[in-house]
Each structure stands twice: as C-alpha cells, then as structure tokens.
A and B are shown apart, each in its own frame.
Chain A
Amino acid sequence: MERMASHTVLQKLEILADAAKYDASCASSGTAKKSSLGSEKGIGSTEGMGICHAYAPDGRCISLLKILLTNHCVFDCHYCVNRKSSNVQRARFTPQEVVDLTLAFYRRNYIEGLFLSSGIVKSSNHTMEQIVEVARILREEHDFRGYIHLKTIPEADAEIVHQAGLYADRVSINVELPTDAGLTRLAPDKDARQIEGAMGKVKDDLSEAKDAQKRFRHAPRFAPAGQSTQMIVGADAATDADIVGKASRLYDNFRLRRVYYSAFSPIPDASAVLPLKRPPLIREHRLYQSDWLMRFYGYKPGEVMQATEADGNLPLDIDPKLAWALKFREQFPVDVNRATKEQLLRVPGLGVKAVHKILASRRHRTLRLDDVAKLTLSITKVRPFIVTTDWRPVMLTDRADLRTMLAPKTEQLELFAA
C-alpha cells in the first residue's frame, strides 16, 4: 500500500488503462444533445453521433478515457486480469485525479468523455460511491457536458446505482459469461440472478425517467444513452447458438442498447481454469454480424441459430447471412424489382442502405443487373441470389459448390484473424 503512494499519475494511468482494455465498449453515441454554449463555465457537448478520436492498432476506436478507478479487487474471477489471486501491479486513482485527467484530455480534444469502471475495494457500495463521486465532481463542479459511461456494480445498493444513472449518459453491467454455469465456474463470487436483477432495476429506472420526461420538461434525465452489457466469448463452452439466445433474451428483457462481445484474449498471469487458446477473433466478428442481423435485418434469434452448424457455432469462413441463405436456398432468387423490403434484406451482399436505394430507384426505373451493381459494393456476391430484367441465375442456387464460390479467399480472412 505504501509503495502505491509513490506512483505518479503517469504510472497509474498506465496500470489502470491497461487493466481496463478488456472492456470492449467505447461507444459515445446515442445520448441526448448537450452543448456548453451559453453556460457560465461549462465544457463539452454531445451531438448524438459518437466520435472516435483515435484508433489503436487493434482496430478499436478510442472515444472515451477508459480506465479503472482501481484494479485492486476482492473478487476472484478467473478470466479477469485484476482478480484477487493475480499478480498484476496494482494502483489506485483518487476521484479528483480522474476528474483532472478527463478534463485535461477533453480540452485538447483527445476524447468524448469518460468510461469509468473499477475493481471492488472494501465493499461494493464503497466502490460504487467512489465511481459516482467522479461523475458528481465532473457534472456539478465543472459543469462537464461530455459523455460519461459508468460501469455499475450489481452487488451495490440500488440507491447508489440510481445516482450513477442521474450523472451518466450510459450505465452498464457486465453479464460476463453467456451461461450461468460458466459464471459459477469462472466468476465464483458473482451471481447471475443478482446481475440480471440489477439490470432489471436499471431498466425500470430508465422507463420511469422517460415517463417523467414526457410530463415534466425538467424531469431529471436518467442515462439517456441507455444501458449496455458485455459477454466474454470463448472462455467457457457456450456455443454461438447459446450466445445469440442469451443476447436476444437480454435485449428483450432489459431493453439493452447494445450487447458487446469480447473475444477472450490471453491475459497476463492467467488462471489455469481458462481455455488454453484464445478463440479466433473472427468468431467475435461473426457474433457481431449476427447481432446486426437481429437488430437491423429483421432476423429472429431462432433464425440466426438456424445459420449455425452442427456444433452450434456460426461458420467462420462465411458470414451468418450467407450461411442462412445457403441453408434456405428455396427462398432465392429474389426479384429486385418486385420483392418486399424484408425479402431484399435477406439477400447476401445487400446491406440496409443498398436495399433502401433499390426500393427508391425502382420507382423510377426497372432495375437491370448493371443498376444493382452501382448500388452495391460487390455484385458477384449478390448475383446468385437475385433476378433482374436481364439476369436470372441459372440453377446457381442449386450448386453444391456455391459456398466455396462465395466464401472470401483465405488471404482476406487473415486480415481479420490476425
């Protein structure tokens, strides 16, 4: 403990940013519009769209100052680098230090705001209070109007968690693992029911605040960017079908804005209960794609699960939408001049934007293959599944080698697999 006191802010930042990097989310979007124009001393704005102020070589966006208040932790979750039995170097920020750092970075336009999480010190309540204190100083003493994402601790009192929601743009609670068995095994101090109970409470707070806002213009805002969660992929035996099922239940039950997936990555000083190798990064990518299918393409969770292979996992070599189309070939080809929006959204290679463009253009002309090519990124991927005035795929959807024809080349795959 004494040794810690000698840590400089730079050393602490290194330790506590390093410890925070296993949280995937860095989103700063979807919150209420705020501006500091006309305020006495305020700083900051949010305009709905998130901004990535930099990208790290891991391809991830750096939008927020994402740090832990401390990486001391009384919990012993095996997948976590900060667990009690881990030998990592420990450090601890004071709330004021986090505030100063956030403002200094914000003024130089490095960040959109703060994403604060913490290991559990002393007690869950004490830790949650410290997190809330950072947000309080930022909002009340500095009139900070940038983005704040607070990780809340399911074991803490609802009262304090509620306070966090009043200061934050977004709150999140990690479900950590897709199955309860996995949680029991890898996070023995955590309790799935407690986590879901806390998420349910946040959901209630969100709807209540929204309700109040409709009636009273100045009703306090509660986490206008909603709540999100994160699941670790590949640390337990859960299949993609399990994960997709869990995610869709979470979306339904807790009206989450996002479920983040984090491919389990080898952590320093790992516990031996963990799997041995990290899952391919492409698996995380496929899960995000399936997430998109459910959120923007009208697929039901059951349909995404239909795209999985015999082992319950999504194929890695092709995307889940193509996998689904190859399994249900009788639904194709689709006539781009006649098909409904729902049918068009199922065509592999047609994104939401392309579908809207097709729908708008076909009011003005009968689309030929050339026209469709102009509206999409790659016509070769789309061609086997569509009919235009001058194009009809001859028996193409019956070909057994269609998958090989359409699967991206291995070299391209490597780019993601890195």
Chain B
Amino acid sequence: MREARSLENVRLGTYYVVQLPEPDDFGFWRERARALVQCEVPPDRIAWVEPGGNGDLFSHGERRAPVPPPDARAVRANKRFMALAKNAALHSDPDRFALLYRLLWRIQSNPRMMEDKADADVRRIEELDKAVRRDSHKMHAFVRFRLVEPEEGDDDAQEHYVAWFEPEHHILRANAGFFMRRFSNMHWSILTPQGSLHWDTETMREGPPAQRGDAPGGDPMEELWRSYYASIFNPARLKIGAMLKEMPRKYWKNMPEAALIPELVAGAQKRESAMVEAGTLEFEERPETLEAIDKAIHACRKCPIGELDNSAVMGEGPRDADLMIVGEQPGDQEDLAGRPFVGPAGQLLDVHLEKVGIDRRAAYVTNTVKHFKYVQRGKRRLHQSPGAKEIDTCRWWIESERAIVQPKLILAMGASAARGMLGKTVSISKVRGEPIPLEDGSELWVTAHPSYLLRLDGPAREEQARLFDADLAAVKERLEELAR
C-alpha cells in the first residue's frame, strides 16, 4: 500500500545527490533527510556531498529534492538521536551525513534502536558525538587570546582580543555562544582555517577563513602566564602520559605555555633530587636499638652543629625506664666526657633530684640535640642555643629513643626540650606543672632547665629553685601513681 503511493514521487532506481551548503549545516540535512525518508529513498541511493567534496562523481544523480506525497507519514526521530545527530553532523568524517540518514531510516521501523548500544551504527554516531564534544571542550580550553592595543590617538578604538585556533571538526559556529556568554563585554575575534568569528559586545559577525599570520604573534601577559605554568608544576610528580592524554601535542603549537614543556620535564628529576638533598631528607629506617642510635648520631651531619669539632652524646639509663629526662644539648664537659648531664647543670640537677627523692639511675637521661653547639672564644667554647630548625632536625633521634625506651613519663627541661617533644615552641611558665598527653600514650611534663637556675642569683634563684622542686615533686608523685 505505502509502496504504491511513494512510487508517484520517486522514480525507481534514481540516485540522489544532496549538496550541503555548509559542512556544519545540520538544519539543511534535516530538511532533506525528512523528505527523502518520506519518499522512502533507501540510504544506499543517496550521496551526501559537503562543500569542497567531490560531487562530480555523481554527475548523473538527481540533485533536486524529492517532493513527498501529501499524505506521507511523519518522520520519527527521538530526542536521543537528535541530540547525537546535531553534534555528529559537525564531525570531519565525510561519511557522517550518510550515517545519520542510515540511522534515521532504521529508526522508522525500530524506534527504540538507539538504546541498542552494541549496534555498529549506534556506536559510530556515539563516537562521532564524543569526538565533537571533546573538540569543542578543547576549544573552550585552549583558545588563547592575544591583546591588540588600540592605535594611539584613536579615542574610540577598543582593546581587541584575537585568537588563532585550529579545530579538528566543524565546530566554530556551534561554539560562538560559549565565547559570547563568557566575554560579552570584550571585543574579540577567533580566527580558524575554516572561518572566523568577530564579536563587538553586541553582534556576532562571521568572516572568511584566516591564516595564522592574521593573528598577533604575542602578548606581554604571556610571560607571566608562562611563569605561572612553570611555577605551579610540581616536579616531584612527573606524569607525562596523563598530560598528553588531555593535552595532545597537536594543540601545543597555539599555546604559549606549551613551549616550556620539554625543559620542565628535563629539569624535573634533577630538581627533585636537589630538593631532597637541600631538605636534609636522608634518613632511612628508624634504628631499632639504642646502640644503633648511638652509632648513627656520631655520623649525623644533618645540621650545622654536627659539623663542629664535637662528638655526639648519647642518652644513658635503663632501656625500660619509666621516666625519661630530656635536656637541651650536651655542654662543654658532656661533650668531652661523652655522657649527658655531668657538667655544672647536671650536678645541680642531681642535687634537686635527690632532694625530692627521684633516683637518677632509674631514669633514662638524654638530650634533645645530640651535639654541642658553641662558639669559640679564645680557649673557651661558649654554649649556643640550638635553633628551631636544628631541634626539629634532631627530633628524629629523640623520637627513636622514645620508641625504644617507651617511658611512661617524660620530663622536658627547658624550651628546647619542650619543642623537641611538642614540635612547637611553648612558654614554660604556661605549661609547667600540668601533664601534657603525648600521642604514644605517655605524658609530658615541662619544667625549666637547671642551667637557668645557675644563671640566677638571690631571691630570683630561690623562687625558681622552689618551682623546679615543685615540678620534680609532682613528677615523682605522678610516677608513683602510674606505677600502681
């Protein structure tokens, strides 16, 4: 019945040639395709030819559009097909319009065929759609405008931003809206080999194909942009594959920053090793015995103190002590004796420990910084306080000692020891007398360093000695509680 009707309008065996006015003219394709489907012209009897395409091969074909019979059925096409087809029509594949027609033809008898993702035609149109969307997305991303300053003396002239871009598909016109919405108050032009767009804040004008030379060759802002690109790159992580996947080489030639890539890649490994070296990050595994620490600290040169003429001083005391007493660093006499707290401050400490009844031999006594820091004055080596960075560097060793001895309570004497335990500088007067929980479950008590008492006289010294004793007494009491 249907066949009989359509024969009135289509000659049997006619070969149709459809010449598209523009390579991205989806509207034209749609009109022609609708009429051809209504006239029931099968896909293999139509040649779709785009501008510049070789239409002469089909010189014998029928170029007039067929007129559908007045009672022809409406052509069916679902939303999904239309959405894909609009994009796929912009693809550079010369067979795209034939594919679209073939799908439209098949949809007439199987309206739900677009759901069949395993069908070859369905997969192809999805591929084309995806490629076009990707190309559009890359155009949004990789177009680079260059500023053309207005000529001097011309007051009416505006700043004009011009870009040169080479899209892979026929996407220029379809993406005009994006740049219009984004740069609505700028005068801009996008030049491509297929055509050009010009926006003057009010109207969009289309222009003829352009050449690279028509666009400006640079922009002063590009130096800043390149330096940003180089600075934001983290040379510690090189993932060239990931970069190439998203920013293929074909785009590089129109991106000012891409010229830096080879040198950034080459410099990356070198820079990382330099960073690690400069960062004194050469520690390996934590030593597992006190003997190993002893040996390692003697070889430690991770801060400038280690380079002085001195010898490391290891902590001493029972390996399973409940109490760890931590000072600042060895002094002159400790350095010579190779033992902690044997000089004047150590002797004063012994007096106070005995007074409150703490047995020094039961405690593990050590220092935050393992080497003696000093300045030479004549024959004398004058004590120098370690810097925050030196304490932080040396923290590695005291933490290794803590991990082995596992004391229940740590008494840090002085600001340096407190920093070594807490990682930050605290005020002794604010934190003394109260336990500070540490992450390994032990608790920290902070007090003054005995050498501080040595530097005071008279009532001030008495006052500080009283506070020191009070701290030690509190520690002793707490130790007894913990032992229970």
Q: B279 → chain A, closest Cβ, in Å?
A: 4
Q: B204 → chain A, closest Cβ, in Å?
A: 11
Interface flags for A32-58 (1: CB within 8 Å of B; 0: not) read 000111111111110101011111111
Question: Across the interface, do B423 and A78 meet the contact criterion of CB distance under 8 Å?
Answer: yes
Asked if A108 is an interface residue, CB under 8 A from chain B, the answer is yes
Asked if A374 is an interface residue, CB under 8 A from chain B, the answer is yes
Asked if A400 is an interface residue, CB under 8 A from chain B, the answer is no
Question: Across the interface, do A21 and B233 meet the contact criterion of CB distance under 8 Å?
Answer: yes
Residue of A nearest to B118 (CB): A371
A10 to B227, CA, bound (A): 8
Question: Across the interface, do A51 and B439 meet the contact criterion of CB distance under 8 Å?
Answer: no
Chain A binding surface, main DSSP class: loop
Question: Across the interface, do B279 and A270 meet the contact criterion of CB distance under 8 Å?
Answer: yes
**A110 with B117, Cβ < 8 A, contacts A37-B181, A59-B239, A181-B439 known:** no
A274 to B184, CA, bound (A): 50
Asked if B64 is an interface residue, CB under 8 A from chain A, the answer is no
Asked if B223 is an interface residue, CB under 8 A from chain A, the answer is yes
Question: Across the interface, do A266 and B275 meet the contact criterion of CB distance under 8 Å?
Answer: yes
A110 to B255, CA, bound (A): 10
Question: Across the interface, do B424 and A416 meet the contact criterion of CB distance under 8 Å?
Answer: no
Question: Across the interface, do A360 and B115 meet the contact criterion of CB distance under 8 Å?
Answer: yes
**A39 with B184, Cβ < 8 A, contacts A59-B237, A272-B280 known:** yes
User: Chain A residues near B302 (CB, 8 Å)?
Assistant: 272
User: Which listed residue (B145, B185, B283) contacts A36, Cβ 8 A?
Assistant: B185
Question: Across the interface, do A364 and B116 meet the contact criterion of CB distance under 8 Å?
Answer: yes
Asked if B231 is an interface residue, CB under 8 A from chain A, the answer is yes
Question: Across the interface, do B145 and A109 meet the contact criterion of CB distance under 8 Å?
Answer: yes
A61 to B247, CA, bound (A): 10
Question: Across the interface, do A9 and B181 meet the contact criterion of CB distance under 8 Å?
Answer: no
User: Chain A residues near B163 (CB, 8 Å)?
Assistant: 109
User: Chain B residues near A37 (CB, 8 Å)?
Assistant: 180-181, 184
Residue of A nearest to B137 (CB): A51
Question: Across the interface, do B228 and A42 meet the contact criterion of CB distance under 8 Å?
Answer: no
User: Chain A residues near B238 (CB, 8 Å)?
Assistant: 57-59, 418
A265 to B112, CA, bound (A): 52
**A57 with B283, Cβ < 8 A, contacts A62-B232, A101-B224, A418-B238 known:** no
Residue of B nearest to A66 (CB): B232
Asked if A267 is an interface residue, CB under 8 A from chain B, the answer is yes
**A43 with B233, Cβ < 8 A, contacts A59-B243, A108-B147, A109-B143 known:** no
Asked if A189 is an interface residue, CB under 8 A from chain B, the answer is yes
Asked if B3 is an interface residue, CB under 8 A from chain A, the answer is no
Give the size of the chain A interface in residues (CB under 8 angstroms): 83
User: Chain B residues near A271 (CB, 8 Å)?
Assistant: 389, 392-393
User: Chain A residues near B268 (CB, 8 Å)?
Assistant: 57
User: Chain B residues near A55 (CB, 8 Å)?
Assistant: 242-243, 246-247
Question: Across the interface, do B118 and A374 meet the contact criterion of CB distance under 8 Å?
Answer: yes
Question: Across the interface, do B233 and A57 meet the contact criterion of CB distance under 8 Å?
Answer: yes
Asked if B235 is an interface residue, CB under 8 A from chain A, the answer is yes
Question: Across the interface, do B227 and A38 meet the contact criterion of CB distance under 8 Å?
Answer: no
User: Chain A residues near B228 (CB, 8 Å)?
Assistant: 13, 17, 65, 105
A298 to B113, CA, bound (A): 29
User: Chain A residues near B394 (CB, 8 Å)?
Assistant: 272
User: Chain B residues near A212 (CB, 8 Å)?
Assistant: none
**A265 with B185, Cβ < 8 A, contacts A364-B112, A371-B118 known:** no
Question: Across the interface, do A188 and B278 meet the contact criterion of CB distance under 8 Å?
Answer: no
User: Chain A residues near B112 (CB, 8 Å)?
Assistant: 363-364
Going nearest first, the 10 A-B pairs with the smallest beta carbon separation are: A59-B239, A59-B242, A188-B424, A270-B279, A265-B236, A17-B231, A35-B181, A56-B233, A357-B117, A181-B439
Q: Which residues of B contact A (CB under 8 A)?
A: 112-113, 115-118, 123, 137, 140-147, 161, 163, 178, 180-186, 219, 221, 223-225, 227-243, 246-247, 255, 257-258, 261, 264-265, 268, 272, 275-276, 278-284, 302, 388-389, 392-396, 399, 422-425, 439
Pull 5 A–B residue pairs with CB atoms less than 8 Å apart, ordered by A.
Answer: A36-B181, A41-B185, A107-B183, A108-B161, A266-B275
Question: With A56-B233, A364-B115 given, can you name 8 additional A-B contacts, CB distance below 8 Å?
Answer: A14-B231, A54-B255, A66-B232, A85-B392, A265-B236, A272-B395, A364-B113, A365-B116
